[in-house]
Structure 1
Amino acid sequence: MIYMHFESPPTPHFISAGEALYRRGDRHKKRSSIGVFDMLFVVSGRLYLMEENQHYIIDENQLLILSPDKIHQGYKLCDSETKFYWLHMGCAGSYYESEHLHPAKKIVNKSLFRDTMFYITLPKYIQLTEEKGKLLRSFIEPLLMFSINKYSNATEKFRTRLNPLQQQQHFLNILNLLNTDSKFSNAPDDLAAEIMQYMQNHYHTSFTMQDLARKFNFHPVHMIRCMKNSYHVTPIQALTTIRLEKGKELLLTTAMSVQDISEAVGFSSCSYFIKQFKAAYHTTPSQFRQEIQSHF
């Protein structure tokens, strides 16, 4: 199983939701790097979706969360009438996908005036029980804003009775229902947590594993082992991910050049930033910015 790990705060937030009714023979549209997470929950029928090269069959009471920076599309026509809910959510913080159930280590902060970091872990693709499926529908339905009907080829807009804060409260109920990692939410691992916190605060500066070892007064091998046990990545891998996510944020929110962004987030060269960005997101920074801007 693939899990999606969201660093919080900031907590993932609700953007919009709707329902869709597909006829037999309809297919989900192709979309690329839409910039939001797309949660799909099938009420009846079956959807055939692929994300990059991974194929999914989504049946009744099954849920799939599509990533904001990947291509997804229907790879096969619906073989029966299919009704599903879709929900768009955003995440201003970092996230990553893993085959491991992340233990959601509590990131230790020694100040009373700083947030305590934690992870929200959601399954990317899951079969819900009938009871959980009903509960999820009860949380989603008050959030519905749009109805897409392929029979009439029309999209209807709803007027929700919830104010923005109430919408977020309903969405938090959804996160709590799907969160697979809550039993680990207070598991202590001070060293790995402090290493992660340090890198999040100093990602824009240049440092090596030896620098981290001197900073925390531990052998690099021990630090790597702690990070891999807690986060399933080495410190350098985690640092690269943090820098890439910060770089992606600057691509979306500023007009800075790719060269300036690479320097701002701590990469030693622009070419290395582009290489790592393409390896992680299967597109270059410039192409990513253009693709996002084309949707607006």
Structure 2
Amino acid sequence: MPPVIEFTAPPLPHYITSGLSPLPIGGKHPSRKNIGAFDLLVVVRGCLYVEESGHKYEITEGHALILLPDSYHYSYEGCKEETLHYWTHFQILGEWRVVDEVEYHISHGRHPEGEQGYLSLPPFAVSSYTVALPQFTKLAQPQKMAEAINELNEMNRNIHLASVRLRQQTLFQEVIMLLSASLGADGPSPQSACAERAASYLREHYREPFSAIKLGEAINFHPVYIARCMQKVFGCSPSTYLLRLRIDQSKLLLIQTDLPVERVAEEVGFNLAAYFTASFTRFEGMSPRKYRQRFAWNKP
């Protein structure tokens, strides 16, 4: 079994930065030694081949690996297919250690947390607790994890604002919870599995007109159940999820291409440019043209 990273909170893990990296066939993750920060890798397509401390990991789609800050890691093999992965650097400012997963479960089984320890604390004392993260895992909710890190990336554009930095740290704790929830899980809950399948379908067909019936037929669930599951897992309906996805795709086109706004709207699945502009403004707080002007310096 892969190791478990166990840390004491507070303080909570601190987000540093993140990004999305495509790798061609033969591409490799950078080799590093003692970088001083944890490096979370989440693969959304393809496979990364990374070795750390004598352990070789094949990080395939929907899997995550945490590289340690005081170790040496390198790619022992190039990508065999085009690979896309998110990376996130973070720091644990408090105490942490790496333990064997079997040892972790045994120790926590013998010393269950109970109310008695809480009651023995002095009044107003801050009670610390431990959190465990799997160093290597199949994510219980890979789509939700990818969306959370993607949102962290988007916030980097306004990192100079203190309010944005606070929101980033808050959102990063959701990333930590998603990782922790994957520890020892036999698999996602039925609701999570349904929501993940629906999200995956929508990501593949976001340019097409939305149909709740067609979505239900594609993943073999009733549309009402799909809507209930997506609301629980993603906090929105399938149609709103699709709208957000189209807006995210349009932002890439606005920054990376010179396509007219009307063409951008068409490329991401909007039939009416006016509806695209209104939706974009509602989600982003500015029009598509202003968004392009503001972030033009990011254009490659």
* TM band (smaller chain): 0.5 to 0.7
**Residue number in structure 2 paired with 1:117:** 128
Secondary structure of the 1:93 match is: coil
Deviations 1:117-176 (A, max 9, x none): 1011111101124xx001111211111169xxxxxxxxxx84569701100111111112
**Residue number in structure 2 paired with 1:21:** 22
What code does the residue aligned with 1:69 have? D
Secondary structure of the 1:170 match is: helix
Question: How far apart, CA to CA, are the structure 1 residues paired with 2:130 and 2:69?
Answer: 19
1:82 Cα shift?
Answer: 0.5
Mapping of residues 138-177 of structure 1, within 5 Å? 138-144=147-153, 158-159=157-158, 163-177=164-178
**Which of the residues 135, 140, 143 maps onto 2:144?**
135
What code does the residue aligned with 1:133 have? P
Secondary structure of the 1:144 match is: helix
**Residue number in structure 2 paired with 1:126:** 137
Question: How far apart, CA to CA, are the structure 1 residues paired with 2:178 and 2:167?
Answer: 17
Say which structure is richer in helix: 2
Question: How far apart, CA to CA, are the structure 2 residues paired with 1:61 and 1:17?
Answer: 18
Conserved? CA contact 2:134–2:182, under 8 Å: no
**Compared with structure 1, are the counterparts of its residues 169 and 61 closer, same or farther at alpha carbon in structure 2 (3 Å cutoff)?**
same
Q: Which one has more relative contact order, counting CA pairs under 8 Å at least 6 apart?
A: 1
Deviations 1:67-119 (A, max 9, x none): 11000111101111100000111111111111233538577562224310101
Secondary structure of the 1:139 match is: helix
What code does the residue aligned with 2:125 have? R
The number of residue pairs the alignment matches comes to 171
**Residue number in structure 1 paired with 2:89:** 88
What code does the residue aligned with 2:43 have? V
Deviations 1:189-227 (A, max 9, x none): xxxxxxxxxxxxxxxxxxxxxxxxxxxxxxxxxxxxxxx
* Segment drifting more, 61-70 vs 107-116: 107-116
1:59 Cα shift?
Answer: 0.3
TM-score normalised by the chain length of structure 1: 0.53
Question: How far apart, CA to CA, are the structure 2 residues paired with 1:145 and 1:52?
Answer: 33
Secondary structure of the 1:56 match is: strand
Question: How far apart, CA to CA, are the structure 1 residues paired with 2:182 and 2:157?
Answer: 34
**Residue number in structure 2 paired with 1:194:** none
1:180 Cα shift?
Answer: 4.1
TM-score normalised by the chain length of structure 2: 0.52
Deviations 1:28-82 (A, max 9, x none): 1210011111000001011000112111000000000011100011110111110
Unaligned runs of 5+ in 1: 147-156, 184-296
**Which of the residues 101, 104, 115 maps onto 2:104?**
101
**Compared with structure 1, are the counterparts of its residues 159 and 80 closer, same or farther at alpha carbon in structure 2 (3 Å cutoff)?**
farther
What code does the residue aligned with 2:177 have? N
Deviations 1:241-284 (A, max 9, x none): xxxxxxxxxxxxxxxxxxxxxxxxxxxxxxxxxxxxxxxxxxxx
Question: How far apart, CA to CA, are the structure 2 residues paired with 1:181 and 1:28?
Answer: 24
Unaligned runs of 5+ in 2: 185-300
Question: How far apart, CA to CA, are the structure 2 residues paired with 1:76 and 1:138?
Answer: 28
Question: How far apart, CA to CA, are the structure 2 residues paired with 1:159 and 1:21?
Answer: 23
Deviations 1:224-248 (A, max 9, x none): xxxxxxxxxxxxxxxxxxxxxxxxx
**Compared with structure 1, are the counterparts of its residues 56 and 135 closer, same or farther at alpha carbon in structure 2 (3 Å cutoff)?**
same
* Segment drifting more, 166-175 vs 36-45: 166-175
Deviating above 6 A after TM superposition, structure 1's stretches of 4 or more consecutive aligned residues are none
What code does the residue aligned with 2:171 have? H
Question: How far apart, CA to CA, are the structure 2 residues paired with 1:92 and 1:57?
Answer: 29
**Compared with structure 1, are the counterparts of its residues 46 and 33 closer, same or farther at alpha carbon in structure 2 (3 Å cutoff)?**
same
% of aligned pairs identical?
30
Secondary structure of the 2:48 match is: strand
Question: How far apart, CA to CA, are the structure 2 residues paired with 1:158 and 1:77?
Answer: 31
**Residue number in structure 2 paired with 1:78:** 79
